[in-house]
Amino acid sequence: MKQIISLIVFLMAACIGMSQGLVVESFNLDPFDATATSRENEVLDFNRIPCALVKVMIIDNTVNFKSDYIVRYNPRGKNEYWIYMSEGARSLIVRSDNFLPQEVVFAKYAPEIKELKRGRTYVLTLSCKGEIGDGKVAVTFVCNSTTAEFVIDNYQTERGTRTFRMEPGDHTVEVTAEGYQKLTTTIRVSPYMKRQEISLDLTPDKSLDKIVAEGDNLLKQKKYTQAIVKYRQAAEQGNSTGQNNLGDMYYYGYGVEKDYAEAVKWYRRAAERGNVYGQNNLGYMYYCGYGVEKDYAEAVKWYRRAAEQGHAGDQNNLGYMYYHGEGVEKDYAEAVKWYRRAAEQGHADGQNNLGYMYQEGYGVEKDYAEAVKWYRRAAEQGNSGGQSNLGYMYDYGYGVEKDCAEAVKWFRQSAEQGNSYGQYNLGNMYRNGYGVEKDYAEAVKWYRRSAEQGNAGGQNNLGYMYEMGYGVEKDCKKALYWYGKAAEQGHTNAKNNKANLEKSCR
């Protein structure tokens, strides 16, 4: 109760000094402006109903707006703002760094306008009359935490507010934020400035990192329930690593029942605090639709935040989204940009993907030698996709001298890791005797492994081996089965093979 009383006193004092400055000149309907109803500018509220448009004309570029009815607002220039508001709105609160927040009640200035109507355009004109004569300075605190709260000279300030009008001189400021040590400091407000910006750096609470480390140690020992206690203790005090790790526990079901929605909750808290792993995980949840409705645009948003912090995995993910046009407009050049950033950090999938872009000439000029370079870097890290692709380049002599034995080497490394394309390609080498002695039984073995993973090429070729009796006993029904599997995926040769075999298979 003491804090509430202090806050009221603080605000009342501010009101006395800030009673002048912002004036409503007029508010009226503009019957000649069809902007709000134009297809280009039409905005819908959350009930899918067209909004009204309020054009605010004001000479003050620090102004901002608050109302339960605002759907969106756009600065259109220094002196004009477009505010889209839901039908039925009766007032708008206008705020500024310079002036006391003022509620504009529409009917007060235009008695015939009791409330806004959908699809109509209104014009609100404001002006700034003179300077504030209270002698105070608009002080803005810049802090390394978005959750920071301030107590100024023992007065608890409004949560979320960072700009305050303060008397020149020395002031005591206390700053608290989740995951950081409390900061108490003295600041000096200059009497020679109208506005002043003061940076306050909070120190992360290292004791929470220690708690997370204890949780990590318990996790390694598979003491999941005890690990969760530690992670939760740190997470609830705002430690982003603890929040991400607690999300992992719910995602995998370690020590708790698997709960994707709860995982999303904790990933989001970590992500919003700038934790790259939380951002990566939250993006993945949106991409897959785990615990949230699938939303590629939201996935892109979180992948981008992590990518811009240098997270190689999300640089590759962002490249993937641009390549496929998921959540963003398809853009091969942008995909190359992000694949390259990941690749240059040594990310194997990024290297393989960048190699593919050079091989196909997507977003860059086609360059087989450059493709081989990136495939090799991925392959030498054990990336099965890179190994299969490097084998393909040796098989056909693209960017390197043709070498079937070298192709077999890389196909085998890929195949033995379970890569269906590596298995399919290795099967081809055995069937044709390229780089190895011809061996139909070995070809069937690798085609089967590929086919059982759903690879259409492997399914078609396994069907062919059954049709011809190569490496297996001839069996037209099994041939039809595998042709059918491949045909269901749109494999053209499989469709033809199936149609031809059906005529003779009894």
Q: What DSSP string runs through 438-484?
A: --HHHHHHHHHHHHHTT-HHHHHHHHHHHHHTSSS---HHHHHHHHH
Could you report the per-residue pLDDT of 290-308, keeping only the tens digit for each?
Answer: 999 999 999 999 999 999 9
Single pTM value for the model? 0.65
Could you report the per-residue pLDDT of 217-228, keeping only the tens digit for each?
Answer: 999 999 999 999
- Which pLDDT score is estimated for 67? 62
- Which pLDDT score is estimated for 292? 96
Mean pLDDT of the chain: 88
- Which pLDDT score is estimated for 376? 98
Q: Count the residues in the chain.
A: 506
- Which pLDDT score is estimated for 61? 45
Contact predicate 21/126, CB 8 Å: no
Contact predicate 232/205, CB 8 Å: no
Supply 4's token pair: 């509430």
Q: Count Cα neighbours of 284 within 13 Å in the Cβ-side half-sphere.
A: 16
- Which pLDDT score is estimated for 176? 87
| 137-200 is classed CATH 2.60.40.10 | no
* Secondary structure (DSSP) of 295-322: -HHHHHHHHHHHHHTT-HHHHHHHHHHH
> What are the start-end ranges of the H helices in 345-403?
348-360, 368-380, 384-396
Query: Closest by alpha carbon to 125, among 36, 28, 51, 34?
Result: 28
- Residues of the chain within CATH 2.60.40.1120 domain(s) are 137-200
Contact predicate 146/272, CB 8 Å: yes
Integer Cα distance of 259 and 473 in angstroms: 49
Could you report the per-residue pLDDT of 457-485, keeping only the tens digit for each?
Answer: 999 999 999 999 999 999 999 999 999 99
- Which pLDDT score is estimated for 155? 87
Integer Cα distance of 351 and 335 in angstroms: 12
- Which pLDDT score is estimated for 12? 28
155-156 and 163-166 as β-strands: parallel, antiparallel, unpaired? unpaired
DSSP H or E stretch at residue 169: strand 169-176
- Which pLDDT score is estimated for 8? 25
Distances (CA, A) of 490 to 247, 258, 455: 39, 37, 12
Given a cut of 50, the residues of the chain with pLDDT beneath it are 1-20, 60-61, 131
